[in-house]
Structure 1
């Protein structure tokens, strides 16, 4: 059986056992066109869920903070105009019409411990008009290390520190604009994490949260999300928050590429021909050109629906919409998962994926994309197809490079690295300077993505990397290596005693619901 999938910036026809199962994402649900978004937004803020209409929340004296996601969601980057631009260009005139003065509005890109957005990235997300009107004095990146802009709100009932951006509590109204593509994001996570500090993020981005409960990627049954919610409740005691959540469909591919996310049975003759010819054609191109081609793709995401109001009421609707778009019913668990990972990660926008992200994207994200139970049986095997180049963006991934070279050389066990290295990296003056002034991820960030793999690392019997020319990078990552997929499948069969193989075609994204 042929399995068309990615391996970095390449498409390959991988050979699976004939009795294997391949699961595909649902087709994209109909979305709200960009031209229709202002009308949908107006209806949402005039009829919000769980709170009064927007016009009753503000007046001529109101200070308003508008926060929005950075470019890690939705990802890959959308075509222009970006959803944030369309929403904000409709929202701002509404605020003015309700009496809010422009001088009393702040815009913050709520990136938490992610890297700050460069000026051109903000311009891509928000458009030239908003940039000209607000940047740089009323539009900025959140800075988790600017102590003058952080307030301590005390602790949760479980003794967790709650620190947040000062503007959140000093504004009369906080409006969070959220474009959500998976149920990991949105809800209580938006303000509490997007404008939280290391002291507040460390308690929930911890191996203690995921060691016994694998739920990271959606709130149900998640220790991590429960902790975030406790912090959010404390923040809400000090701030009035309206969220605007756009639940996105999964139309990642533009026309001309959509066949990559569909089974042959759903493809027309031309699409089938493209699926056949693309892998050998890409083989003729150098890696640098393949990288440029795939990084140049702009997605066709559209909102399935747009809701505004109180966090709980709105996010409940968002989660339902997400489940309707993402959920795939699967009749059983499997012994072996084969997954081809593209050169794509929410933490590698504008960069190549690095080896740490290869592991975390598959074991932290894909493994955890389920509603009921993991797709893989306990003691199963995950085979990752990716060349896994030892490449680290010289600006963005500064702490990742040292994490790979120093931490993983010592241990791959999440609790051990937490005890030995976490605070050293979190408080390192060089990493803090790189985060604040040089567009790097925070020193703690590589730990967070590795921690999300805590459950999978304990649950699986083997993780096998196929793609690198030798076992060097696999050894550093603490996983196994095979020179080809046939060899990896042979190892998996020795463990399970059978060919019980499942493969996933992503992107677009999906969550499994194992019966």
Structure 2
């Protein structure tokens, strides 16, 4: 039996606690009385993934079995989760490989010979042929690559298919008689129509759901169009909480349970962090070796599958953290969907803590309105020249002029949306779309509006100030800065992530 998540109250016996800070971590002694919310241990997964996939396709939710939907002469588009999600990468064999091979076997048995495979990268960077081969496996890639029947989605392609005014999709998807959508999910926000609605739609359609002022009504409208025009067999593979193994296994454990080997590895990691260049530390944590297991495989209609997957995820990840805290302490994960193979720049660090972590709750944020978030990351002004060119320009040119999202939307957004240079980088150089920094910046605004203070410990002061935040050298300094809003004896909660944790705030 796996142990549930729980909240520890810090006392004199509590050891220094691990706090993630991107490509590194630190040990901190928290003030007495602080609360530490630990994620649950991963629940037992399915013992045989291939068999679970087969069972899901034979007995889907609210839909006929996949074999009954397939027929000779039909066009089939298979959409699959792209290489950037989840992060870090999965150990081989990839569960997406197993799902694709099973689906293709059923298609072959049914006499279907017009099949195209599309990676659902949306406005994220397109994957190289080698990255896609690692997802699909050698056999699948060899069968489809030579004929140009497999590849990443191009949201700026000139041959997109319009399903309705304002809603365009990848041509293979729009012309398919059946769309088989294989999604790998690690949090509730990835379930349902999300992958199709943002992953294989045109740039304007995707941006309408992610840009300034976008809300659930826009996303629901796009989902409604897709539901009306596409026949979809939706498959969701729900991953467990196992992120690290070997020398990094200590990252998934509770500090007082570290073995002697774990403690040696902690010291080695700290030494590497002090001496090695950032790219070396990042590559150490970025290796595609996460020992993910599979909690569930659900197939069938999109909405029914999403409901089943969300139930599994909430049961695995929800932790009762008690009342909303005056101060929440957190740090970004080593690798996110936005920086695989690249340095974590300040915008991505802000997104991971102020959008993902802040927004991971059942209805009420873990920090009270007007409270403070104290975050740990160096915020280096380093941007991957290939992947994050637009982010570098946004950080240097836009944030020096204004941090106001309304002003950015009105006066600075247009070039990032449509400039030919950014479009060319996206289409030909595996760069993130020009809208990427805008998406990151807009997504952290709810946290900025909610919190009275956002303070970064150990951060480049100029980076923090440019984004409208404050910097501190130590946790004690950060608490001193926050005292003006939360007092000198605040209630403190440390969200001990990763792995994932969904905060449930109680009265």
Do both share a fold (TM > 0.5)? Answer: yes
1:124 equivalent in alignment to 2:134: yes
Q: Does 1:163 align with 2:162?
A: no
Deviation at 1:280, TM superposition (A): 4.5
Give 1:284 shift.
Answer: 5.5
Cross-structure match for 2:62: 50
Unaligned runs of 5+ residues in structure 2 are: 1-13
Give 1:235's aligned residue: 226
Q: Give, in whole Å, the separation in 1 of the partners of 2:154 and 2:444.
A: 27
1:18 aligned onto 2:32: yes
TM-score (normalised: structure 2)? 0.92
Structure 1 residues 110 and 272: CA distance shift in structure 2, 3 A? closer
Distance in 2, matches of 1:202 and 1:179, equals 22
Work out whether 1:294 is the aligned partner of 2:294: no
The 3 A distance-change label for structure 1 pair 208 and 15 is same
Question: Residue 369 of structure 2 aligns to a residue in which SS?
Answer: strand
> C-alpha distance in 2, partners of 1:251/1:395?
31
Deviation of the 1:300 alpha carbon: 1.1
Paired with 1:151 and 1:90, the residues of 2 have a C-alpha distance of 28
Runs in 1 of length 4+ with deviation above 6 angstroms?
none
Q: Could you tell me how far 1:98 is from its partner in structure 2?
A: 1.6
> CA, structure 1 residues 8+234, in 2 after alignment: closer, same or farther (shift >3 Å)?
closer
How big is the shift at 1:116? 0.2
1:369 maps to 2:360: yes
The structure 2 residue matched to 1:477, chosen from 436, 450, 467, is: 467
CA distance in 2, matches of 1:229, 1:434: 30
Residue 97 of structure 1: aligned partner: 109
Query: What is the SS of the residue equivalent to 1:45?
Result: helix
Gap regions ≥5 residues in structure 1: 156-160, 210-222
Q: 1:208: how far off? A: 2.1
User: Under a length normalisation based on structure 1, what TM-score does the superposition of the two structures give?
Assistant: 0.91
Aligned residue number for residue 124 of structure 2: 114
- Displacement after TM superposition at 1:92 (Å): 1.0
The one of 27, 33, 38 aligned to 2:41: 27
The equivalences for 1:49-448 within 5 A come to: 49-101=61-113, 104-136=114-146, 137-148=148-159, 150-155=160-165, 161-209=166-214, 223-224=215-216, 226-265=217-256, 267=257, 269-270=259-260, 273-274=263-264, 277-278=267-268, 280-283=270-273, 285-287=275-277, 288-296=279-287, 298-448=289-439
Q: Is the 8 A contact 1:19 1:499 kept in 2?
A: no
Greater alpha carbon shift after TM alignment, 40-49 vs 7-16: 7-16
Conserved in 1, the CA contact under 8 Å of 2:390 and 2:422? Answer: yes
Relative to structure 1, the CA distance from residue 453 to residue 63 in structure 2 (aligned partners, 3 Å threshold; closer, same or farther) is same
Separation in structure 2 between the aligned mates of residue 343 and residue 388 of structure 1, nearest angstrom: 13
Give yes or no for contact 2:88–2:287 (8 Å, CA) kept in 1: no
Deviations 1:131-172 (A, max 9, x none): 111115110111111121x122224xxxxx222222222111
Shift of 1:340: 2.6
For residue 399 of structure 1, report the CA deviation from its aligned partner.
0.8
Residues 77 and 279 from structure 1, CA distance in 2 versus in 1: closer, same or farther, beyond 3 angstroms? closer
Q: Is the 8 A contact 1:79 1:298 kept in 2?
A: yes
Q: Does 1:9 align with 2:23?
A: yes
* 1:278 Cα deviation from its structure 2 partner: 4.5
- What is the RMSD of the two structures over their aligned residues, measured on CA atoms? 1.8
